[in-house]
Structure 1
Amino acid sequence: MSAQKGGGLATIGLLSVTAIWGSTFVLIKDVVGRMAVVDFLAVRFLLAAIVMLVLFARPVWRLGRAERRRGLALGVLYGFAQWLQTEGLALTSPSVSGFVTGMYVVLTPILALVLFRQRMPLSTWLAVVLATAGLGVLALNGFQIDIGVLLTLASAALYALHIVGLGHWSKPGDAFGMSAVQMVGIAAVCLLATLPHHGPSLPPDGKAWIAVLYMALVAGAFAMLVQTWAQAHMPATRAAIVMTTEPVFAAGFAVLLGVDALTTRMVAGGTMVLAAMYLVELAPRFRRRRPAEALHHDVG
């Protein structure tokens, strides 16, 4: 598979993941109204970890010791990010939470530069600014800095670390094993969060079980597998910009399900986020095409 084709499939894969994540907002709001947030997270990720370990036992066994440690560390990062984001969401509005969480799109290129000396072209920085502005238009009507915002900002920093680390360490052939080990790390953190409540409680009814199973298997296990594979084929900052389409999908599903009405802000903010994604996707192809065209003209 060529690098360009692999990158294109990786983008499609990440878009499918963000669409799945976007579809979960309404489900989560319903479920956490009837069971504790920490119980929901623990049951969701424990189920996902068990299923992934059963399905991918051999790929996990084939991983080297260093890969297992890295996968576990990435999972712990992601688990704490989920925990902090959920605690912050309890103290602030969903729209503000969505915007502040999306700040990983700003933090990712900064961390990639500081930790791994990965320099970004100007087009990528322009896409970061455009995506951030789009998130603000989509989500915000003004907000104050409070403990909920600070917790959510901390979660965004951990998400950015996870994106950068996954982009640096993930290899296409290790995607099954690495995603399973990460899920074990996430489940461990979420189970730890339930200890003050004497361990996790199960979903209260059949409807809640269906939602938790969807969140565990589709939005958890499948999404982590696809993200791990996709980030082996693209730079971390590009992945972060593609993933900022999550609130766009969330708003779209909310409108389709009749939860929210379509607004000009949704359209404008969503268009800006999509424009940022197209910028970061098309700029590398344009840069590859220009030398080829220059060579063609020189030969002519």
Structure 2
Amino acid sequence: MNKKYIADFTLLFVAFVWGTTFVVVQNAISFLQPHTFNAVRFFMAALLLSVWLVVFRRDEIKAINKKLLLSGMAIGFWLFIGYACQTIGLVYTTSSKAGFITGLSVVLVPLLSFFILKIKPGIYAIIGVSIATVGLYLLTMCGTAILNIGDLLVFFCAIGFAMQIIYTGKYSSQYPSLSLTIIQISFVAILSSVCAFLFEDWQKAIQPEILFQREVVIALMVTSFLATAFAFLVQTYFQKYTSATHTALIFATEPVFAALTAFLFAGERMSVGGIIGSIFILLGMIFAEFPSKRKKAAENTIQEKAV
């Protein structure tokens, strides 16, 4: 089978895994508090990837230096903001709404790139942002008088993920991917642990009757190994066989999977306005990543060289 098709299918599976985690995490944080859950999750993922590094990519260890550490920590900081706000937000909002609001990170990337990297957004990015903004209003405000605090937290989560994507793009070409990933994931684990120690009852994480609850075990297995360690490795390896825009469009299916799993396993229902808003957000994500002819030609050239 063509490597491009294998890459597309595998990245689609990653989007599916990410989409399904909203429900399982929401179930788990009723037993284990958000920062504590994230601390355990990311420590497990970092440990798994570290074993992979030592066993299969030992030569990358020699390349670790101060600049690599600082770069990984910068990416990890925004990843921490993303997951912290998302996990806490799930305490107050639904999985389906959280999925679509998180998906706004795809739309926010070109907008934030303009302010941070001075990269002017194209017409499609501007259209995408406009459509997604209307969708966000419909999704979060229909049937309610004020914005839900969980919706607001998940929106900050989308900003965190967008910043993480921007800084990953900035540093990923400069350093080995696996080492950079381990550092950022480890930094998320450290920051989550500090917050758990300061603001939560972190001792629940070492209580067997809580840690081995069925919902907690399932959530940790899915998020640590599949949604974090596996997903990051897969994205790093397979993205060289497809364009960045194509990858972003595949990942735009994540909120759809989130809404479907929330409907099937959590019994969540959206209002008509919420459904229309979700569709607008999805369309906005697609428009935001739709390339100009010049950009498409450049990405195709890079893809052909990679293959």
For normalisation by structure 2, the TM-score amounts to 0.74
Matched, 1:43 2:40: yes
Amino acid at match of 2:61: W
SS in 2 for 1:185: helix
The within-5 A match list for 1:104-119 is 104-119=105-120
Structure 2 CA distance, aligned partners of 1:30 and 1:39?
Answer: 14
Q: Deviations over 1:113-170 (max 9, x none)?
A: 1221222221222233334444555565255246555544433322221111112222
**Aligned-partner Cα distance in 1 for 2:31–2:189:** 21
Matched-pair contact (CA < 8 Å) for 1:38–1:200: no
Q: 2:165 matched to which residue of 1?
A: 163
For 1:204-283, what aligned pairs fall within 5 Å after superposition?
204-228=212-236, 243-257=251-265, 259-260=267-268, 268-269=276-277, 271-279=279-287, 283=291
Tell me the distance in 2 between the aligned counterparts of 1:149 and 1:261. Answer: 16
Q: Of residues 1, 24, 29 in structure 2, which corresponds to 1:27?
A: 24
Partner of residue 292, structure 1:
none
- 1:3-37 CA-partner distances (Å, limit 9, x unpaired): xx97x887665543322111112211222222222
Conservation of the 8 A alpha-carbon contact between 2:19 and 2:258: yes
Q: How does 1:56-71 map to 2 (within 5 A)?
A: 56-57=53-54, 58=58, 60-65=60-65, 66-71=67-72
Deviation at 1:44, TM superposition (A): 1.1
Secondary structure at the counterpart of residue 56 of structure 1: helix
Q: Is the 8 A contact 2:131 2:281 kept in 1?
A: yes
The equivalent of 2:77 in structure 1 is: 76
Question: What is the distance in 2 between the residues matched to 1:273 and 1:150?
Answer: 16
Matched to 1:115, the amino acid is: I
Q: 1:276 Cα deviation (Å)?
A: 4.3
- Structure 2 Cα separation of the partners of residues 21 and 122 of structure 1: 29
Separation (CA, whole Å) in 1 of partners of 2:131 and 2:35: 34
Q: Aligned partner of 1:222: which letter?
A: F
**Paired residue total:** 283
- Kindly tell me: are residues 142 and 170 of structure 1, through their superposed partners in 2, closer, same or farther at Cα, counting changes over 3 Å? farther
Q: Distance in 2 between matches of 1:255 and 1:154?
A: 24
Q: CA deviation at 1:188?
A: 0.9
- Which residue identity lines up with residue 27 of structure 1 in the other structure? V
Unaligned runs of 5+ in 1: 290-300
| Alpha-carbon distance in 2 for matches of 1:154, 1:277 | 17
Aligned equivalents of 2:13, 2:191: Cα separation in 1:
26
Q: Which moved more, 1:213-222 or 1:54-63?
A: 54-63
Could you tell me how far apart the structure 2 residues matched to 1:41 and 1:200 are? 13
Give the secondary structure class of the aligned counterpart of 2:176.
Answer: helix
Structure 2, unmatched stretches of 5+, are 298-307
Identical aligned pairs, as a percentage?
29
Q: Is the 8 A contact 1:52 1:180 kept in 2?
A: yes
C-alpha separation between the residues in 2 aligned to 1:250 and 1:153? Answer: 16
Instruction: Report the more deviating stretch, 19-28 or 192-201.
Output: 192-201
Aligned partners of 2:149, 2:35: CA distance in 1, in Å? 19
Indicate the SS of the match to 2:184.
helix
Is the 1:41–1:190 Cα contact (8 Å) retained in structure 2?
Answer: yes
Residue of 50, 54, 58 corresponding to 2:51: 54
User: Contact 1:102 / 1:135 at 8 angstroms: preserved in 2?
Assistant: no
Which residue matches 1:293? none
Residue by residue over 1:74-95, the C-alpha shift from the partner in whole angstroms, topping out at 9 and shown as x without a partner, is 1122113212332333345555
Q: Distance in 2 between matches of 1:99 and 1:287?
A: 27
Contact 1:102 1:156 in 2 (8 A): yes
Structure 2 CA distance for partners of 1:108 and 1:95, relative to 1, 3 Å: same
1:217 Cα offset (Å): 0.3
User: Secondary structure at the residue paired with 2:205?
Assistant: coil
Whether the 8 Å CA contact 1:18–1:243 is kept in 2: the answer is yes
Give the drift of 1:288.
5.4
CA RMSD of aligned residues (A): 3.7
- Aligned pair in 2 of structure 1 residues 107, 262: CA closer, same or farther (>3 Å)? closer
Q: Is the 8 A contact 2:86 2:153 kept in 1?
A: yes
